[in-house]
Structures are given as structure tokens and as C-alpha cells.
Structure 1
């Protein structure tokens, strides 16, 4: 039985708590949250509330950190020094120095450390497992309505970091150049941003994120040789349009005339298995501990996503500086 301690039972923390509560081979030993309102909102679970972070860490085999980002490093450091396994929400720390220190501590410790990049487990993205992904151009739009919750960090670290992580996992190439622009509209940090990432293998990714939109959108489009792939993370839909091959028998096809003759297009809508992404990532974390398996999103993954995010923030800050040459 894995003893889990939960740090933070706000909006997302309550969701995590409900998933842990329904999971086999898991016991929630308690939670730590300085907010009385948050604590009251989970009273129905009858789970002990700890007054001390240290006491909760000591009582647990593993901890789940869904506290504000500014608290991540301190809690992680304390847990690592006590030999506890850690699941921490993205971004894994508030600063790059904290992230680099954390990676070193994790490497030195015999623990499992997983970062909560939940879109890796979105059913629409999982449907592409087994398909060859070698995009040369990626277009991403992640739009959300304004919500004061989460504005303690920029839209880059709040929303775009999901897509940065997905893009890095797909492209598997080093970055050649980043250009970015962003504007703070409703908060003190950028609320909308557009970013262009150029990779050394020739792939270009164009990412747009906004938390001041009138509608929600979470779409990614991949363009690669002989294929277009559309992923709708919000509506859980995936579409592949490609040149037909002998393996594509049974798919809907369409003949088109081109300058080089007639070509046949095949349209594939992979099966979407209705899974709970948060439940899946937490179950995989549990299994990595109980069965000594690698975690699906490790500290290095979390660091790499943060590195790109902070490069983007630096580019935006430079572009907004009055001293920047025009």
C-alpha cells in the first residue's frame, strides 16, 4: 500500500485527491494546505489535515504537490532529503536555478520524480501512439477564458508549457532559434503570446497561447511529408490526412488531380479511448514506485520544458523593454 501525502487542495488539488481516493493500492495519509476554505472543501473525504509540511512528508511514502508554483522547490527539496517519491505539477519550479538544483538532487537520490504534464496523457494525443510523427511544421493554438486562478505565473508557464512539452517530445531535436512576442493585459505577466521555435532538424513550431480569449481552444496541427495530423486536445479528436499506402485499406479515400498526376488521399480518424488523463498520470506514478518502473515524464523533461519557457519569457521581456533597439 502506497501512502500518499497531498500538498494543496485547491481546484486542481481536489481533482487529484478524488482520483487518489478511488485508486487501488493507495492510502491518502493526509493533506497540507494553509487555506481553511480549501480544507473545508474536502471535508467530505475525512482525510487528516496536517499542520506541518514536515510531518506530512515524514508520514508519507510519496507526495503529490499541487501547491502554487512558488512553493514547489521548497517542498520538493524537503521531500527528496527525506527519501520520498514526488509528483509535482508543472511547471516543476518557479525559477531555472531551482529547476537545475532539483534535477541534481533527484539524480543523487533513489526516488521516483514525475512532473505533471497532463497533456501527454490526453486521449487525442495517445491515439497517435504507433504512428510515425516527423513534422516539419507545427501550428498550435491554446486559448482560454480569463480566470484569476493561475495568474501567479505568465501564460507561458501556465498554458503554453503544455504545448512546449508536447512539441519537444515529438520533434526530438535541439533548438536553433526562438522568437516571441507577448502582452500583459489583465495581469502583471504576459496573458497572450505568440512564439516561433526553429529546430536544427528544420522543423518550425508556431505556438499561440492566450488566457483572455472569449472561447476555449486547444488544437495542434502537424505537417509532415505526405501527411497532415490534427489533434484537438479539448474535444478529444484526432485526424490524419495522408497519401494512401497499401496499409490504408479500409480507410475513406479521395482522388485528387495534381501537377504530377492523380493521387489518392486517405483519411484516418484513430480510435479515441476515453481515458481520464489525470487518473492515468497518477496511476503511472503509483506503478513506477510499486513496480520500480521509469516515470513517463521525468525531471529532465520538466527542466527542458522550463528552459524553453524561460527563453521565451526573456525574449518577450526584451521586446517590451524601452531600451530595445527598433
Structure 2
């Protein structure tokens, strides 16, 4: 049983607290620390859990720490935890700067501790339902739209929302990025609130992503197009749809799903539509349990610190492209 301490009990931290308790076969939740001492007092009373006086004290008592604090604090707390001999789960984004992330990567290697980054969409049922399906997209389209919420506006929408999809497309494309173009606008905050990015990979695949936190509705969809399939992933509804084209006499057409005949210049073909199910999943509990399995079995984290770095690096490239594009625009006139 791993002794886990929680750093940060804000809105998301409380969710993590509950999920750690659900993962009771893996973790013994020893307590938490929060810089807001009044918040800490209330949480300690509500959840009947020890509130530590400092992050150092919590780290000294734990085997694993779960860092769910504002992004600017991630570097110092993860570094402190690694130097204190703890494995780490840290919410996305990994750090504010690439230099901080690079230092943590080297420190994780030196200490031999597992660091997992909280890109929770990796554990979304919509993605998990794909199973062993061979995915090699030529074109990716992603929309992540959210209604305005004052939480998170200390960073741009790229680090707040788009970074979820950056991690997903980097995983699915499995290729190096060759070019990034992007534009964005700050509407209600000091940072861009809506951003569109076009990402080209060395192998020729292209991704077009839009993220907005000033939408009138919520949407989290990714669509994948490849020569033999169209795949739609709805991360909000936790549903996926796979549309594939087969020769009419092909062997191995899946029995599950629906089939529709199609006449083509090359002869009759079959359109096969499948909506695979993976069942209800608590994604945060699942990602925390996966960390415990990685620690106990000596295996790499499901979402490694290197994965977190790659998503962060791409996010910074997009932010730089947005700034460059804004610099080319004429000043607004009233």
C-alpha cells in the first residue's frame, strides 16, 4: 500500500481527494497540504483528514504525492517531492516553462522516481473504446469549446484547454511536428481565449485544432481521417464511432455494428459503422491507479513526464505562433 499525500484541495483537488479514496486498494491517503489555511481547515473537517503544516512535512511522510495546485507552483513542488524521495502525479500542464520541465525530467531520471502527468483524456472511454484498432490518421480535426469560467484564465486557452488535445494528437500521430501556424484572440481575459492552430507532421499528417473558453456551449470532439477509416471521438459524451470501408467480399468484416452496401466505380463495397462501448469509467481514479501499477511493477507511467513535456513544448510553439500572428495585425480601430 502506497502512502499518498495531496498537494492542493481547490476545486480539482477535492475531486482528486475523493478519487484517491476510491483507489483504496492502491493508496493510503495520509493527508493534504493547501496554502490557503482557511480552506485547509474546512477540508480537514469535512473529509476528516489530516492537514499538514507544510508541503515539506507532507512529502516527508508520503511515498507518492499528487500535485493539484496552480500551474506556476508545479515546478517547485514536483522538484521538492522528487528530492524528498517521492513518486509524483502532477496535473497538466507539467510546468510553466520548458526549462523547468527539462530540469524535472533530468531529476526524475536521477532519482529513479515515476512521474505521471494528468492528461486525463487518455483515460476517456471514447479513446479507450478504440482498443487495438490501428490508428494512423492523415488528417485530425479537434474542437474543444467551453463556456467561460474565471478559473484558469491566468494562462492562455492553449495551456488551459487545447493542451488536452495536443497530448492526444501527439499520441495518435506518433510523429515529429514540422510546422505550426496559429492565430488567437484575447476577448475577456489578458491571455488568448480562442485559438486555432494548424499542425503539420514530418510524415505528412495535418491537424487542425480549435480551443475556446468563451463558447455558448461545451464541446470536446476529435475526428480522425485515414485511408481506411473515419473515427469520431466525443470526449464530452464519452462516445466513439468508427466508419470503415470494406470490399464486399472481404474477409474479417466485424460482426458488431451496422453494414450498408455501397456501389463504387471499383465495384460493390460495404460501409461498416461501429459504436464501441467501454463501460462507465472514473478517469481520474483510473489514471491514479495506473500510476500505482507503474510504481509497483517498475513500468513507465501511462502518461510519462516526457509526454507532458512534448505537449507543453507544442503548446509553447502554438502560443509563439499566436503572438507572431498578432504582431502582424493592424491595431484595432473603434
Q: Would the TM-score normalized by the shorter structure come out above 0.5?
A: yes
Q: Report whether the alignment pairs 1:196 with 2:198.
A: yes
Aligned equivalents of 1:71, 1:156: Cα separation in 2: 18
Displacement of 1:162 in angstroms is: 0.5
Asked if the contact 1:3/1:60 (under 8 Å) is kept, the reply is yes
Asked if the contact 1:156/1:209 (under 8 Å) is kept, the reply is yes
Q: Report whether the alignment pairs 1:308 with 2:317.
A: no
Asked if the contact 1:90/1:117 (under 8 Å) is kept, the reply is yes
Give the secondary structure class of the aligned counterpart of 2:252: helix
Give the secondary structure class of the aligned counterpart of 2:298: coil
Aligned equivalents of 2:150, 2:239: Cα separation in 1: 29
Aligned equivalents of 1:42, 1:211: Cα separation in 2: 32
* 249-258 vs 216-225, which moves further: 249-258
Partner of 2:17: 17
Partner of 1:33: 34
Asked if the contact 1:14/1:42 (under 8 Å) is kept, the reply is no
Aligned equivalents of 2:86, 2:205: Cα separation in 1: 39
Q: Report whether the alignment pairs 1:248 with 2:249.
A: no
Partner of 2:122: 120
Aligned equivalents of 2:223, 2:116: Cα separation in 1: 27
User: Unaligned 5+ residue runs, structure 1?
Assistant: none
- CA, structure 1 residues 323+233, in 2 after alignment: closer, same or farther (shift >3 Å)? closer
Aligned equivalents of 2:172, 2:57: Cα separation in 1: 40
Q: Report whether the alignment pairs 1:3 with 2:8.
A: no
Partner of 2:207: 205
- How many aligned residue pairs are there? 324
Aligned equivalents of 1:275, 1:131: Cα separation in 2: 20
Asked if the contact 2:242/2:275 (under 8 Å) is kept, the reply is yes
Note the aligned Cα RMSD (angstroms).
1.4
Partner of 1:100: 102
Q: TM-score, normalised by structure 1?
A: 0.96
* 291-300 vs 38-47, which moves further: 38-47
Residues 111-260 of structure 1 aligned to structure 2 (within 5 Å): 111-244=113-246, 245-250=250-255, 251-260=257-266
User: Unaligned 5+ residue runs, structure 2?
Assistant: none
Displacement of 1:36 in angstroms is: 3.8
Give the secondary structure class of the aligned counterpart of 1:159: helix
Asked if the contact 1:9/1:42 (under 8 Å) is kept, the reply is no
Q: Report whether the alignment pairs 1:320 with 2:326.
A: yes
- CA, structure 1 residues 25+257, in 2 after alignment: closer, same or farther (shift >3 Å)? closer
Displacement of 1:322 in angstroms is: 5.6
Q: TM-score, normalised by structure 2?
A: 0.94
Q: Report whether the alignment pairs 1:265 with 2:259.
A: no
Asked if the contact 1:83/1:110 (under 8 Å) is kept, the reply is no
Aligned equivalents of 2:270, 2:54: Cα separation in 1: 65
Asked if the contact 1:84/1:111 (under 8 Å) is kept, the reply is yes
Asked if the contact 2:26/2:289 (under 8 Å) is kept, the reply is no
